[in-house]
Amino acid sequence: MHIEQIYTGCLAQGAYYITSKAEAAIIDPLREVQPYLDRLEKDGVKLKYIFETHFHADFVSGHIDLAKKTGAAIVYGPNASPEFDFISASDNQEFALGDVVIKVLHTPGHTMESTTYLLKDEKGKDYCIFSGDTLFLGDVGRPDLAQKAANMTQEDLAGLLYDSLMNKIMPLADDVIVYPAHGAGSACGKNMMKETVDTLGNQKRMNYALNQPDKDAFIKAVTEGLLPPPAYFGLNVAMNKKGYESFETVLNNGMRALSPDEFEAAAENTDALILDTRSNKEFYKGFIPQSVNIGLDGDFAPWVGALIVDVKQPLLLLTDEGKEEETVTRLSRVGFDNQLGHLKGGFAAWLAAGKEADVIDRISPAQFAEIVKIGEDKVVDVRKESEYAAEHVEEAYNRPLSYINDWIRDINPDEHFFLHCAGGYRSMIASSILQARGYRNFTEVEGGFKAIAETNVPKTNFVCQSKVMKA
């Protein structure tokens, strides 16, 4: 028996590759399937099953393409009704894989079809669980994503999740290994650990959700402080249920190289958004007017999903040379398949063709410290509420990037303001969106709060958010 966690940091997502004798199973595969096919061929094993823990909201699974290319069966737990061939497993049903067995534990709560897969080793001993979004390390799955489909409140779903955990997971032995679908950084939970593997015994001891005194306390604890889910989540669920374009088609479209003239014509003749994936350190110096910067060097795919929202939005890509395929792939993982092509030769080719360019007004933290007048000048901090609450520039306003589509309409275009985030990644995204929508009366601060904190700019006293008592 061999178990391998294939972890993707950008999505904070764990897929799992399991082999026993000459048979293999994959749990919650990512969109691009060629790496799995290569691994199966290398190991000389046949893919028998593709197990899905639930209909994922934060990424598009590779289950359909993988099944078509291998002949493997797609397995969902009870209550799943996708629009393609699959095995509808019953609770406690067992699937043989070589010398091991994978048992279905129906664990609704995060979604109604949510399922945990219990692997029993060659001796029949409970070895590990693939817990999907039911149990994370340090947290449990959010119970607010399936309300509409289930015709239930988030409190109702949280109650179901409690029953699932107490009746199906907690009775398992402490030495059972927990392999979750996500880790820290995922929007599918709120308190996840940076570790991606743990024992169930340790989770029983330290996971706040598993240590509530009763069901009511559990419901209150897991629903408290939930931020609204990104708007693209529902669209990804639909793609996972209904099917999608093959990844090869998406890749071929995105890898279409366009000359500067062709790129400009495509931008003018379609409603495509120009997505520039270069680093913020390059983008501000020069970019195509109206383009939006979301750098590959950060949490690229989640921010694309959160800010562009509509997975059917046509996209024209500008990347660093050699990063075209990576960009197309990472976009496809969150369902952005409508890619019209990329600028051949990148931004240098655009300039060489004599095309118009724009810049962002960026200053150093030292310059900011020298010119800012606290209490008179407006400072906008686009970090998360918790980051702002921990420590911020005195008198600064908190306008999280996640909500820019809401707060941008309240900006007075005649009032100058300074803009920053933690390190420059998010503030450049915000800057590009602001300028694309006609707001130019602002100055972005390089290096964000981390760099500002090293200057003499007045800031609030630090408050550790993990130690703040919740009401």
- Listed as ranges, residues in the chain with pLDDT below 50 are 467-471
Is the Cβ–Cβ distance between 231 and 316 less than 8 Å?
no
pLDDT computed for residue 169 by the predictor: 98
β-pairing, 23-27 vs 46-51, is: parallel
β-bridge mates for residue 103, sequence order: 94, 118
Collect all residues with Cβ–Cβ distance below 8 Å to 244 and sequence separation of at least 6. 60, 64, 335, 337
pLDDT computed for residue 471 by the predictor: 35
Gap between the Cα atoms of 312 and 336, Å rounded: 6
Gap between the Cα atoms of 113 and 241, Å rounded: 12
Is the Cβ–Cβ distance between 116 and 134 less than 8 Å?
yes
Contacts of range 368-373, beta carbons closer than 8 Å, 24 or more positions apart: 368/418, 368/420, 368/443, 368/445, 368/452, 368/455, 368/457, 369/452, 369/455, 369/456, 369/457, 372/418, 372/457
Is the Cβ–Cβ distance between 203 and 179 less than 8 Å?
no
Strand stretches in 267-414, DSSP E: 273-276, 292-293, 315-318, 339-343, 362-363, 378-381, 397-398
Is the Cβ–Cβ distance between 428 and 444 less than 8 Å?
yes
Domains by residue range for the chain, with CATH = 2-234 (3.60.15.10), 245-352 (3.40.250.10), 362-467 (3.40.250.10)
pLDDT computed for residue 466 by the predictor: 56
Gap between the Cα atoms of 334 and 41, Å rounded: 27
Specify whether the backbone of 301 is left (phi greater than 0), alpha (psi in -120 to 50) or beta. Answer: alpha
Give per-residue pLDDT as tens, 281-307.
999 999 999 999 999 999 999 999 999
pLDDT computed for residue 9 by the predictor: 87
Gap between the Cα atoms of 95 and 291, Å rounded: 50
Please tell me the total number of residues recorded for the chain in this structure: 471
pLDDT computed for residue 228 by the predictor: 84
The pTM of this model reads: 0.89
CA dihedral 427, 428, 429, 432 (to 10 degrees): 120
